[in-house]
Amino acid sequence: MDEWRVKDQSGDEGNQMKRTHITRSLLNSSTTDSFRRHHEAPISPGRLAHYTLALNAICRDPRRFHGHDLVGSLLHHESPSDQEFAIASLAACSSGAHVRKRQIRRLLDVADKTGAGQGGAGQIGAGDVDTLSTVLLALDCIVREHRNRNLEHYVKRPARGLARLQNPDGSFGSRTRSTALALQALAATWEEDPSWNHLSQESAPAWNRTAALLSLLSHQGSDGSFGGGDVVSTAEAALALAAKGGLGTIRNITCPSPPRPPSPLAAPGLGLPTDHASHGSAHEKLKDHSTETPTMATGNETLGDALVTYTLWVGSNISENLSLTLKAPANSSFYNLMLEAAQQDERFQFGSSSWPNGHYIHTIHGYREQPAAHRYWLLYRLHAVPDPSEPPPHHQLSPKGVDDLLVNNGDHFLFWYRKL
């Protein structure tokens, strides 16, 4: 994603990437011109909200934008559009403004109306997925920013409703942007509270982040963009792919105090895209970023040992089937288990890329992912040793990465090199 990635001086892509992608998609001089040309139609609340979020993302005060208080305008001019109202509420909350009870009630009504109470994927459209995702981001901000614990259970209901709207291919709705927004909303809420999953041996997770990410990546263009080159869709996708990224995390960006006022018509400090030698999809960028040689990591010896199996399958027809039984400290990461396996059997040696959100595995047993051919390493967590005659279904893909996936006694892990 050469054309869409920016690093700051420390090499961290976190806050800088959030600021850059949001700002590049939303910050432009035409908005400033609209404020100055009083004879033209006023800016819509939705566009005003996006502009407020963009200013917050680059540490500019939206309350003092060329003499205009954008936050005050958002609070006093409600849009009849549910989606515009939701994004306006998120922008106001992210700016530290108090969201009124009447506005919160409307958010809850919108969540019910768009299918959070009893929906199914076939009952609502892509626009409703976008609206429900934005409502969830706004409610989550209100709960966390204002410590309003009375609303916590109101966040769980739309989160579960949105999770049920995931399509069989991992996407949400019918548009790339809908999947990106749903990923942002669920990553900001669901994964921070694992008890919501109610995961058991008989049931699958209510939503699968890995499947959603793969679905999103499958819509990336050769130039790195998403949505056919649409800048806003690309920005939303980039935020969804970032670790703990998304519109809901803008309020957590560390800014100088007090925020600096905006400069005329431009955003100082906005970096330009870093030029890299290689081009291609997000997966290709991951594989070219860095490769590590496996070394043994120390586990937590006080938790006891877990006995697990680790299996490799190669090809959709499973032309190769390798398996190891390993002993590892309980609650150590699966990545540490992979390091141990690589030391015990050279066939399990692997290559990975190191990113702020953890390691990305691109090569195992000499087989490297081939994005052009849609061949990837997919990780499954199973309740029994995998049987080639009965391959695991799609919903058993691990929703977590190799660093976040913890090892428990009796686990069975499968890395399958296959075509999507």
Q: Are residues 247 and 323 in the same domain?
A: no
* Residues 169, 215, 397, 311, CA torsion sign: positive
Residue among 296, 176, 302, 283 at smallest CA distance from 237: 176
- Does residue 52 lie within any of the structural domains? yes
- Does residue 80 lie within any of the structural domains? yes
The β-bridge partners of 103 are none
- Does residue 294 lie within any of the structural domains? no
For residue 346, count CB atoms less than 10 angstroms from its CB and return exposed for 0-12, middle for 13-18, buried for 19 or more: exposed
Q: Are residues 47 and 132 in the same domain?
A: yes
Residue 185 in tokens:
């909303």
**pTM higher than 0.85:** no
Q: Are residues 21 and 140 in the same domain?
A: yes
Tell me whether residue 130 is annotated as binding.
yes
Q: What integer pLDDT is reported at residue 87 of this predicted model? A: 93
Q: Are residues 255 and 318 in the same domain?
A: no
Please give the residue range of the domain that contains residue 192: 2-267
Residue 274 in tokens:
């870093």
With beta carbons less than 8 A apart as the criterion, state whether 335 and 402 touch. Answer: yes
Q: Are residues 64 and 110 in the same domain?
A: yes
Q: Are residues 245 and 98 in the same domain?
A: yes
294-319 b/e (C-beta count within 10 Å ≥ 16 → b): beeeebeeeeeebebbbbbbbeeebe
- Does residue 258 lie within any of the structural domains? yes
Q: Are residues 117 and 10 in the same domain?
A: yes
**Whole-number Cα distances in Å, 105 to 48, 49, 83, 130, 154:** 22, 19, 15, 19, 10
With beta carbons less than 8 A apart as the criterion, state whether 207 and 194 touch. Answer: no
Domain at 345, CATH number:
2.170.130.30
- Does residue 287 lie within any of the structural domains? no
> Where does a domain end: 267, 284, 316?
267
Q: Are residues 142 and 191 in the same domain?
A: yes
Q: Are residues 134 and 258 in the same domain?
A: yes
Query: Cα separation of 7 and 205, whole Å?
Result: 34
Q: What integer pLDDT is reported at residue 345 of this predicted model? A: 94
Q: Are residues 312 and 390 in the same domain?
A: yes
- Does residue 277 lie within any of the structural domains? no
Convert the pLDDT of each residue in 350-367 to its tens digit.
999 887 678 899 999 999
**Mapped to the 3 state alphabet, what secondary structure does 153-169 carry?**
HHHHHHHHHHHCCECCC
Q: Are residues 60 and 165 in the same domain?
A: yes
- pLDDT digits (tens), the chain, 420 positions: 444 444 444 444 455 555 555 554 554 444 544 554 444 456 788 889 999 998 988 888 888 888 888 988 888 888 888 999 999 999 999 888 888 888 889 998 998 887 644 444 445 555 689 999 999 999 988 887 666 566 677 778 888 888 888 999 999 988 899 999 999 998 887 654 444 443 333 344 578 888 999 999 998 888 888 988 888 888 888 888 876 668 888 887 777 654 444 444 333 333 333 333 333 333 333 333 333 333 333 444 345 688 999 999 999 999 999 999 999 888 899 999 999 999 999 999 999 988 767 889 999 999 999 888 888 999 999 989 999 999 998 778 888 889 989 999 999 999 999 987
Please count the structural domains in the chain: 2
> Where does a domain end: 218, 246, 267?
267
Q: Are residues 331 and 244 in the same domain?
A: no
Domain at 244, CATH number:
1.50.10.20
* Residues 202, 203, 205, 207, CA torsion sign: positive
